[in-house]
Amino acid sequence: MSNVFIMSKKTYRPYQPNQLLLLPPALQDWLPHDHFAYFLSDVVDSLDLSQIERTYERELRGYPPYHPRMMVKVLLYAYCNGVYSSRKIERRLQEDVAFRVLAANNQPDFRTISDFRKRHLKALSDLFLQVVKICKKAGLVRLGHVALDGTKIKANASKHKAMSYSRMVEEEQRLKAEIAELLQKAEQADQAEDHRFGPHRRGDELPEELRFRERRLAKIQEAKAALEAEARLRAGADEHEPPEEPGPKGPKGGRRRKRPKAEPAPTAQRNFTDPDSRIMKGSDKQFIQGYNAQAVVDADTQIVVAAAVTNQAADAPHLIPMMEQVETNVDEMPEEVSADAGYFSEQNVQWLLQRRINPYIPPEKQRHSERRRAKSPRGPIPKGATLRDRMRRKLQLKRHAERYRKREQSIEPVFGQIKEARGFRQFHLRGLEAVNGEWLLVCLCHNLLKLYAFSQAA
């Protein structure tokens, strides 16, 4: 039976996937003229990348590297679109039109991308300051009111790889006993084999189970020593000098005074994968192995003007350093600052008042329903009122309560955009210095997207 083709009366647009192009394509025709990729390319072209470029100009040997400006554009565009894995970036360079336009059809592999990010992380994080200054020049940094807050972000490590100091002591003793037992068995086996095969057999081979226990013991001893060093620092003792033992001869012939031995708390923990990370309570009340990412945001524009990462769960110690970073980045202090109750301390409030910054920091956490039901106080402030009492009374007044609400409308949406819209819920690097650089890179990309939105609206 012959094939019968029925001609359709409907006319479609030409579709020939295998047709060759007669003229070479222009990359500029692949995307709309107002696409974010072109905007990002123009911004990166205006940035000073000499810190990165110098590392390549010193070495003239070898195959020419990829252009640093191209690599920066690809990396920033990836972070702006929530693509953080170097392997996924490599795939996008093959499949995504915008990535191919920015890379001019270059396709570095994932190892090259990962090595570039690690090698130049400090220089990449320094670009955050350059972008903040561009935002200020564009009128997006006003500093009438800034909001400060922190968010807990998972480290690139499992909380199950952490161990408490008391458990370290127990494991150290157990592993030492097991290693001694295995060594004794190995010695007995060597003697038996020497008797059987002769004395010329090499006897330094260690059983696999012994090597595993020795490696684990070394890790535990390293973590245990680090916790003890931190405890000595907190106690004011010298990290490198052991406590003095009582002796018969002191400096004047008497007995030498014994220095109190500083010992970590039994519950003090250290992670074997990322020792700088800590166990912290996340926003969902679940404990995570992570870091405390801090940010200061211009309340009117949601531009991040200062950012840093700490492994301290408490927020209060970071208010003054973050405000000092604001002044360093934009050469001036804000008029007002709002932060949640975690940042309250009389020292913080006093520091802000001395610099003529109007603080909005509640002394204790309040539920939204309680804040709505609270009535404005009447009458003069009592003469003996403390800073805590004054701040509590201030935030009960309607006009000041409205100013404090700017925090919820500015900083919390920024964290929502970073963690929910762009999916940054875990650091990909390890160590406090590395995650601090990665957080600055994330905040830099947030500012670029805000700057692009502003340029489109103008």
pTM of the predicted model over 0.85:
no
Ramachandran bin of 236, using left for φ above 0, alpha for ψ from -120 to 50, beta for the remaining angles = left
- Report domain 139-159+269-427's class: alpha beta
Per-residue model confidence (pLDDT) at position 389: 87
Three-state SS letters, 88-142: HHHHHHHHCHHHHHHHCCCCCCHHHHHHHHHHCHHHHHHHHHHHHHHHHHCCCCC
C-alpha closest to that of 229 among 257, 267, 270: 270
User: Which pLDDT belongs to residue 207?
Assistant: 55
What are the Cα distances from residue 71, in Å, to 4, 34, 91, 293, 341? Answer: 55, 22, 15, 26, 42
Cite the DSSP H helix spans in 199-357.
Answer: 208-234, 319-330, 346-354
pLDDT for the residue numbered 405: 86
Amino acid at 448: L
DSSP 267: T
pLDDT of residue 239: 43
Q: Give CA angle at 340 (336, 388), nearest 5°.
A: 80
What's the burial of 129, exposed, middle or buried (CB within 10 Å: 0-12/13-18/19+)?
middle
Partner residues linked to 150 by β-bridges: 294
Closest CA to 144 of 298, 361, 324, 339: 298
Mean pLDDT by groups of 10 residues along the chain of 458 residues: 59 79 78 93 94 85 88 96 95 94 93 94 93 94 93 86 59 60 64 57 52 58 63 58 47 48 61 82 82 94 95 92 94 92 92 93 75 59 79 86 86 93 92 94 96 88
> Residue 432's CB: how many other CB atoms inside 10 A?
16
Task: List residues bridging with 295 in a β-sheet.
Answer: 149, 307
The strand pair at 162-164 and 358-360 is best described as unpaired
